[in-house]
Amino acid sequence: MVFICDISVFNKYGKLKLDSLLHPLNMDWHDLVAMLIIEQMPGISQTRLVPFMQTDKANVTKMLQLLEQKDLIRREPDRGDQRVKVSSLTDHGKAMLPQLHEIMNAWENTCFQGISQKDRKVYERVAKIITDNLMEDKI
């Protein structure tokens, strides 16, 4: 198979599988990614979230507004620049993290089913190299 087709299949069907696991929580992969990134980088600006979300700034703003309406995140003006909004998890959002991590683990286990730990390590090493190659002019 052609490498670009592999990437397309992983992207499309990986997100669909993740969305099905998140459906009972009334969430999708965008919500999960935003919450996990905010967990890792509390106070991250909306602008810095955009590259992770695979969409534009306007759609990221809408998605964050919905997470805020669900009481999962809080958006506030940045102390250093009132024009910039930063996001952090609410207590309700933090309480959901164990369940979200469990879903991520289940999803990853599904993706790597039938693959040995040795082969998984090889994949992780190769994926990092490919990512670095593709991102070298973005850093």
Per-residue pLDDT band for 137 (boundaries 50, 70, 90) equals confident
Whole-model pTM: value is 0.85
**pLDDT tens per residue, range 23-63:** 999 999 999 999 999 999 999 998 899 988 888 999 999 99
CATH class of 10-103: mainly alpha
Residue 99's contacts (CB-CB under 8 Å, 6 or more residues apart) are 25
Q: For residues 30 and 24, give the distance between their C-alpha atoms in angstroms, rounded to a whole number.
A: 15
pLDDT band at 78 (very low <50, low <70, confident <90, very high): confident
Tokens 């997100």 -> residue: 15
Helices 29-40 and 46-53: angle between axes, nearest 10 degrees: 130
pLDDT of residue 138: 63
DSSP state, residue 84: S
SS3 content of the chain, % helix, strand, coil (to 5): 70, 10, 20
Lowest pLDDT segment from 8-17, 31-40, 59-68, 79-88? 79-88
